[in-house]
Copies of this chain bind each other. A is one copy, B any other.
Amino acid sequence: MPSLRNDRLLRALLRQPVDVTPIWIMRQAGRYLPEYRETRERAGNFMTLCTTPELACEVTLQPLARFPLDAAILFSDILTIPHAMGLGLTVQEGIGPRFARPVRTEGDINALAVPDPEQDLRYVMEAIRLIRKELDGKQPLIGFAGSPWTLATYMVEGGSSTAFRRIKSLIYDRPRSAHRLLDTLARAVADYLNAQTAAGAQALMIFDTWGGMLTAAAFHEFSLRYLRQVLAALRREHDGQRIPVIVFTKGSGGWLEAMAESDCDAVGLDWNIDIGEARRRIGQRVALQGNLDPAVLFATPERIRTEASAILASYGQGPGHVFNLGHGIEPEVEPDHVRVLVDAVHELSAPYHR
């Protein structure tokens, strides 16, 4: 593998000094880019895009060709694991993910087998190898997975949800079954992420998208416990390099300390919390990623710079900050606004690293 020419992301995640604050953007390879929509059209459907390594590689690299971002993130879906478990995933624009065979009964839970990533999720590993080759050391590549809790919500609900009736009934009425399901998923997520590392992912991120739907007590019991199980099972070094792991729970403001104690290297923040306050609470233990309100990218260039500057100032002096949005970029964002943000972060952050 060629040596890495831009190691800002990896250094910031390990709280080592950098020249400027690194930035990448959740869903940076996505619908706001016309070239993504073109490839997506050509693929025919979303799952073909995910399962064809050449196409996944192509869209992964698109934002890097446009903007001086400090990392690539694998283009994929958090639901590849349940798909590999045989649940039959389809993703329709405007409707979201749907499983043909959701997990409802004890039998459904017991029948789930942990996939072999190099067999059942080979297309992901192929995509990673291809992307690493194409990146040629220009930027590091982030691999990712959904958290066990977040995967469970989709698998039990059968798709997206707002009330989470089925999964919540499971945890409240049949907690032992929920724990069995989550344990299987934690093993699957760990295997999947370890395979991504072996294939070439240089940092990892775990998306606990729906952890914030839980009470504090249920978050600890049904989400955090399995995040910790995953983290404990990850190989944290590869080829002599530390593989930093970022965990992200939307709505985690109340549990930042617990997140920081999960043995991750960095905590991703949504935009509700002031990053300076988050640093005071947990910044001595982990790096922080975030946390611009995604809606700021709808604003004028001037305002984008002002808001980016406010976050850099709030985080303050020294390393340990990876700039990002507090949630995925919206499809209606003007691509030029992303350039404004990336340039602003690089330019305005230099004084904080002297």
In the complex, residue of chain B having the shortest beta-carbon distance to the beta carbon of A300: B173
Given contacts A295-B165, A332-B163, contact A172 B303 (CB under 8 A): yes
Leading 3 A-B pairs by shortest Cβ distance: A168-B295, A172-B299, A253-B254
In the complex, A36 has a CB within 8 A of chain B: no
Contact partner of A172 (CB less than 8 A), chosen from B216, B296, B330, is: B296
Decide yes or no whether A293 CB sits under 8 A from chain B: yes
* Cβ-defined contact, B172 with A272, below 8 A: no
Q: Classify chain A: how many residues form its interface, as a range.
A: 20 to 34
Question: For A300, what are the chain B residues with a Cβ–Cβ distance below 8 Å?
Answer: 172-173
- Check if A115 is an interface residue, CB within 8 A of chain B: no
A218 at the interface (CB under 8 A from B): yes
Is A212 engaged at the interface, CB distance under 8 Å to the other chain? yes
Across-interface contacts of A283 in B (CB, < 8 A): none
Determine which of B251, B254, B271 lies in contact with A215 in the assembled complex, contact meaning CB atoms within 8 Å. Answer: B271
A136-189, CB < 8 A from B: 163-165, 168-169, 172-173
Distance from A213 Cβ to chain B, minimum over Cβ atoms (Å) = 8
Q: In the complex, which residues of chain B have a beta carbon less than 8 angstroms from the beta carbon of A273?
A: 216, 254
| Shortest CB distance A333–B (Å) | 9
Contact between B165 and A272 (Cβ–Cβ < 8 Å)? Answer: no
Instruction: Find chain B residues with CB under 8 A from A299 CB.
Output: 168-169, 172-173
Query: Which residues of B are found within 8 Å of A295, using beta-carbon distances?
Result: 163-165, 168-169, 172
In the complex formed, the residue of B with least CB distance to A271 is: B215
